[in-house]
Amino acid sequence: MFDSFLSGLFAPLLGLPQALGLFIFAAAISLLLALPYRFLVDQKKMREHKDKVKEMQKRIKEAQKTDQKEAGRLMNEMLSLSNKQMMSNFKPMIPGMAFVLLVLPWVAATFTGPVAALPFSLPFFGSDFGWLAWYFLASLPMTYIFRKLLGVQ
């Protein structure tokens, strides 16, 4: 049932060449996964955490030259800050991962065989990409672009 829903939803992509259809699908999923980060995570607070971590890294480098005890204290403080930052990112990540885990079996069943032919041969890959390699190759830059456009930290 879910497979037929996805097939109907993405029917226009299924008529395109597999490489293009999967690229557009990966871009759409990347956008859908970036949107919750934009709205569920306090971007101002994340930017502040990021800036504090950078500042603490500088202070740790300076303290390591003179006072190892102070460097250790600063390192623990930075770790605590990084943990807070990571926990803030968990909220939107969990439903996003659940969505991806539901959709990937459909993608595997829909985009079969070689998806993109390469003009040369790569070690471990050969001369073509299957759906998974092509999906990752397409989604990584698209995720980066959408996160930048949405101002996600």
pLDDT tens profile 89-125: 887 888 888 888 889 999 999 998 899 888 888 888 8
- DSSP string for residues in the chain: -HHHHHHHHTHHHHTS-HHHHHHHHHHHHHHHHHHHHHHHS-HHHHHHHHHHHHHHHHHHHHHHHH-HHHHHHHHHHHHHHHHHHHHHHHHHHHHHHHHHHHHHHHHHHHS-S--EEEEEEETTTEEEE-HHHHHHHHHHHHHHHHHHHHT--
pLDDT at position 148 is 93
pTM of the model: 0.77
Spans of the chain below 50 pLDDT:
none
Where in the chain are the domains? Answer: 17-150
